[in-house]
Amino acid sequence: MSESKYKNRLTTPNSVRKERQRTGSPLNRSFCILCLLILSAVITPAFCQETSVAPAAAPTSGDKIVTLEDCIKQAFKIHPDLKAAIALKNASKAQVNEVRSAYFPQVGYTATYSRSVIENPTTSEISGFSPLTKVESDAYRSTISMTQQIYDFGRTAFSVAVAKDNLEAASYEILSVADTIILNIRSTYYSTVAANKILEVSRESVSQQELHLKQAKGFFQVGRRSKIEVTKAEVDLANSKLTLIKSENDAKLARANLANAIGIAGSFDYPLDENVEFVELKLEFDKAIDLASKHRPDLLKIIAQENAGKNRVNQARANWYPTVNGNASYGYSNSRFTFNRIAWGWGVSLDFDVFDGGNRDYTIVENQENLKYLQATRERLWQKIYLEVQEAYLKLEESKRSIEVLEKALDKARENFNLAQGRYEVGVSDNLEFTDARVALQQAKTDLIKAILDYYIARAKLEKAIGVTVFRDTLFK
């Protein structure tokens, strides 16, 4: 069975197309219509006034139907996880320039002023006292200096390489976070659509049971059925209403989960576009594994971190070599604020740590072990990715086959319900047969909707597992 046959069943399944029974007298309907017209006349002017909507309240404004892509676009604007990942990338980008600044001259300026007082005691022959003689002086000094790294045996180069690898890892982290957001939104979006359809099935079941109760009461009044038939129908109607209450709550909870997946802290009461469509994914398992090894962002992220680890080892080894720096200075110093004592100079320095207590050796060992940790983590991550792809692929195939079976089961359940309803109307069957047929039909409709939901979610999970998400390009628009 091709996917095109059932890809829209989640939005318009046969289980919810049946026309519902309408009850109530013409007078009641006329009264309701009159009330609606009066209420509309009162409320309409209020809605015509200009209102302000918070930027992060919903993915769209007005009465426009919200699509899946609208939800994803809004999440890319407001989701805190994505904001955090982008901030980390910007920090990593700044770190690259920070480390690279060591290649440029370092210029400094120093200006000092000091005042000194020297007191020398003296002895007077006349008075015998020893007055103090004060010598005061002012000193001014102003110096501009510059140092320039000449050669450090690759120490700075490896530091820049580490920073670039970290920047690359941060970029892949953004894609990984975006893929997770997309998967969560797709899953909750499809779940919300399915919950709405199950809610319609529950309402239809209540309508069917109300009609059945009305028939049972009519048969009882003419003596064709016993009182127990009416009582049993009332119990079944109560059970149907309980199921409806649960379905209503599930639909509200699904919308709350969708709002949370988008990044909205509040209600989400906008109408959804239930015509969910996507291109069929025709992919062999081996091809899926190959795509995952090349495009999975979390795998590429740890590979970048592994490269950074290798550069850290080389950077630690470079600490064993000296650094060659050039320096120059120009300034003056005097007891008055004048330029009559000017001093300048330049030179070259060779800096080398003769003994540091083994710090350099331990640093090398530390970075080597950290590199081994990253390599082992990458290997374990690939095993998890392989299993994730396998599970998503098998779940997608299972969903396809399940839908084919459940479609046939739904046709049989609908046929069985029509027969049971007809038999009850002519007095051939009892209430138990009708109830069993109605419950079987409701369950068949629900199972088919859930199976189609599983197919959509499995499709989304497989895309994330291989690192090829159809909505990822929205991030860069």
Closest CA to 53 of 290, 268, 336: 268
Q: What is the pLDDT of residue 386?
A: 96
Mean pLDDT of the chain: 81
Coil, strand or helix at 344: strand
For 78, 383, 445, the CA distances from 395, given in Å and listed in that order, are 32, 18, 21
Gap between the Cα atoms of 199 and 244, Å rounded: 7
Q: What is the pLDDT of residues 51-84, one digit of tens each?
A: 333 334 454 445 678 888 899 999 999 999 999 9
3-17+64-106+151-323+358-476 topology per CATH: Outer membrane efflux proteins (OEP) (1.20.1600)
Q: How confident is the model at residue 425 (pLDDT cuts 50, 70, 90)?
A: confident
- 259 pLDDT tier (thresholds 50, 70, 90): very high
Count of alpha carbons within 13 angstroms of residue 64, beta-carbon side: 10
Average pLDDT estimate for 285-289: 93
Is the predicted pLDDT of residue 217 greater than 90, yes or no?
no
Residues in the chain, overall count: 477
Nearest to 167 by CA among 97, 103, 96, 85: 96
The whole-angstrom separation of Cα 440 and Cα 417 is 8
pLDDT, tens digit, 9 for 90 and up, residues 127-185: 555 566 677 777 888 899 999 999 999 999 999 999 999 999 999 999 999 999 999 99
The number of beta carbons lying within 10 Å of the beta carbon of residue 447 is 18
- CA-nearest of 269, 272, 260 to 194 is 272
pLDDT digits (tens, 9 = 90+) for 347-376: 999 998 888 889 999 999 999 999 999 999
The reported pTM is 0.75
Question: CB–CB of 16/204 below 8 Å?
Answer: yes
Percent of the chain with pLDDT over 70: 80
Please identify which residue in the block is written with the tokens 């991550």.
381
Cα dihedral: 307, 313, 315, 318 (round 10): -140
Residue 153 in tokens: 């045996």
CA 264 to chain centre: 12
Closest CA to 390 of 285, 287, 312, 233: 285
pLDDT computed for residue 98 by the predictor: 94
Spatial separation of the C-alpha atoms in residues 177 and 308, rounded to whole Å = 21
For the chain, what is the largest distance between any 2 Cα atoms, rounded to a whole number of angstroms?
A: 149
Q: Cα 316 vs. chain centroid, distance in angstroms?
A: 37
Q: Are 125 and 288 in contact (CB under 8 A)?
A: no
Hey, how many other C-beta atoms are within 10 angstroms of the C-beta on 256? 16
What pLDDT score was predicted for residue 65?
A: 86
Q: Above 60 in pLDDT, residue 186?
A: yes
Q: What is the pLDDT of residue 420?
A: 84
The C-alpha atoms of residue 227 and residue 249 are separated, in whole angstroms, by 34
Name which of 53, 106, 453 is nearest 269 in CA terms.
53
pLDDT of the residue at 47: 30
Task: Say if residues 15 and 449 touch (Cβ distance below 8 Å).
Answer: yes
